[in-house]
A = this chain, B = another copy of it.
Amino acid sequence: MNPTETTEALVARICRAAKAAAAPMACAGTAAKNDALRAMAQGLRARSGELKTGNAADVEAGRSRGLAAAVLDRLLLTDERISQMADGIEEVVALPDPVGGIERMERRPNGLLVGRMRIPLGVIGIIYESRPNVTADAAALCVKSGNAVVLRGGSEAIASNTAIARILREALSTAGLPADAVSFIPRTDRSAIDAMLTQEENIDLVIPRGGEGLIRSVAGKSRIPVIKHYKGVCHAYVDEGADIAQSVAICVNAKAQRPGVCNAMETLLVHEAIAPSFLPPAAEALFRAGVEIRGCPETVRLVPKALPAKDSDWGTEFLDLILAVRVVPSMDAAIGHIRTYGSLHTEAILTRDHGRAMRFLREVDSSLVLVNASTRFNDGYQLGLGAEIGISTTKIHAFGPMGLSELTTTKFVAFGDGQVRR
């Protein structure tokens, strides 16, 4: 590295190198990619001392900058966490290679055989914040799907990320793959992000991982397509005639099992016909789990311990043990509420009625719509993708959890024996 190189020149050079690595990565066989992944996991385990030294510098710097305890905790690498990072990479080894298969091969009337071959996207840019494990997780998924990746992590974890990236790059070389397939931008000023977002010749897709501010800022500036994962304002709707005990259990799980994540329920909608029998036991179970309820007037009437909801509570991602509750006159009103305040993330209907279940599935256009199950299932592992690089809440390219397959696309292939166009 040349310390006098401008950030812009450095970023451009790194992105060009990643682009050059994309072609050999796209052609790499499954065995070579798996060898590289195994070498990555082994490298992280074998060199945990080196990782902890880098990490200690980050933690020390963070402490002297006065970072909150929660941020310092996310930053910390222990032997156990390093081992989990390595385990995560080994799980990716076990996943099927999405690249190279041909789907939907059909014979056209002129005899041409036409199919779609699954191929990598090329170069993925990942822009993330403080957690160093993203460096390893994202790199593993990109390598397995035949892509090159350009990583730009937050300043809090710069020494940790630098150490992780060094180990991953050496592992690629060991396996005969280009080290630049995992490229890391070692500068943490904002201008490094800005420079990355103008590299449309070298980067094919940008995935920001972090808070809404980061995502909006990246999406607003980028000349490269961005997969957005905005907030999760998830709803459950308890229908007239729902199974009360089952619905209470699902609601408690959706709200309280892990309230700080994007697939936790934030608003509960209850049909007015079931509210008198459902809300009191549901509220009791939620209170026992430590949940604060902010309800509409009808909710407060039925559950006197509930606080009155403000208008701003509808559509708020609390990420906390707080739940907004509204009694609605019909399923249509529930769907209307979701359209107005939802974030296209995850919505569930709790019902015994088959027709209304199917209508809710059709009419609610969130990335996951469930019948009689917890919103907490919107997750790549839970839905069977094997892994996840993020959850897209916009509909272009991918919608919902993104696994290996969502880091690829298809090209058309055609086998002929002399066909020409008439």
Closest to A112 in B: B373
Q: Which of A223, A249, A414 has the most CB of B within 10 A?
A: A414
Residues of B within 8 A of A419 (CB): 250, 372-374, 377
Is the C-beta of A69 less than 8 angstroms from some C-beta in chain B? no
Mask of A97-135 contacts with B, CB within 8 angstroms, 1/0: 000100000101000101001010110000000000000
For window 270-312 of chain A, which residues contact chain B by CB distance below 8 Å? Answer: none
Kindly identify, within residues 11 to 60 of chain A, every residue whose CB is under 8 Å from any CB belonging to chain B.
23, 26-27
The 8 Å CB contact of A411, one of B399, B415, B417, B420, is B399
Confirm or deny: A220 has a beta carbon within 8 angstroms of a beta carbon on chain B.
yes
Q: Are B339 and A411 in contact (CB under 8 A)?
A: no
In whole angstroms, how far apart are the Cα atoms of A384 and B367 in the complex? Answer: 29
List the B side residues contacting A417 at CB < 8 Å.
246, 372-373
Binary flags per residue of A249-280, CB closer than 8 Å to B gives 1, else 0: 11001100110000000000000000000000
Q: Helix, strand, loop or mixed for chain A's interface?
A: mixed
- Cross-interface CB contact of A108 among B367, B369, B384, cutoff 8 Å: B384
A65 within 8 Å of B by Cβ?
A: no
Which of these binds chain B: A72-80, A156-164, A314-322, A357-365? Answer: A357-365
Q: Is the CB of B421 within 8 A of A368?
A: no
Contact A361 B117 (CB under 8 A): yes
The contact string, 1 if C-beta is below 8 Å from chain B, for chain A 389-411, is: 00000111111110000000111
Q: Is A205 an interface residue, CB under 8 A from the partner?
A: yes
How extensive is the interface on chain A, given as a class? Answer: 35 or more
A416 at the interface (CB under 8 A from B): yes
> Considering the chains assembled together, what is the distance between the CA atoms of A362 and B146 in angstroms?
12
Q: Is A378 an interface residue (CB 8 A)?
A: yes
Whether B416 lies near A367 (C-beta < 8 A) is: no
Query: Which B-chain residue is minimally distant from A362 (CB atoms)?
Result: B27
Asked, given contacts A411-B368, A418-B246, whether A205 binds B396 with beta carbons under 8 Å apart, the answer is yes
Given contacts A369-B413, A412-B369, contact A421 B225 (CB under 8 A): no
Q: How close is A380's CB to chain B, nearest CB, in angstroms?
A: 10
Are A418 and B373 interface neighbours, CB within 8 A? yes
Residues in B neighbouring A412, C-beta threshold 8 A: 367-369, 378, 383, 400-401
The answer for the CA separation of A368 and B400 in the assembled complex, in Å, is 28
Known pairs A250-B418, A370-B416, A420-B373; A409 contacts B396 (CB<8 A): yes
CB distance from A54 to the nearest CB of B (A): 34
In the complex, A292 Cα to B401 Cα: how many Å? Answer: 52
A371 in the interface (beta carbon within 8 A) = yes
How far does the Cβ of A301 sit from chain B's closest Cβ, in whole Å?
29
Within 8 A of B (CB), among A201-226: 204-205, 219-220, 223, 225
Please tell me if the beta carbons of B362 and A122 are within 8 angstroms of each other in the complex.
Answer: no
Measured between alpha carbons, how far is A258 from B420 in the docked complex, in Å?
A: 12
Residues of B within 8 A of A26 (CB): 363, 365
Beta-carbon contact of A418 and B249 below 8 Å: yes
A-B CB contact pairs (8 Å), 26 listed: A23-B339, A23-B363, A26-B363, A100-B362, A108-B383, A112-B377, A114-B383, A117-B369, A119-B365, A204-B395, A204-B396, A220-B223, A225-B225, A253-B421, A257-B420, A257-B421, A367-B411, A367-B412, A369-B413, A372-B419, A374-B421, A376-B420, A396-B397, A398-B409, A399-B410, A401-B412
Given contacts A26-B365, A205-B396, A400-B410, 10 further A-B contacts (CB under 8 A): A27-B363, A100-B362, A249-B420, A257-B421, A357-B415, A368-B412, A369-B411, A376-B420, A377-B421, A400-B412
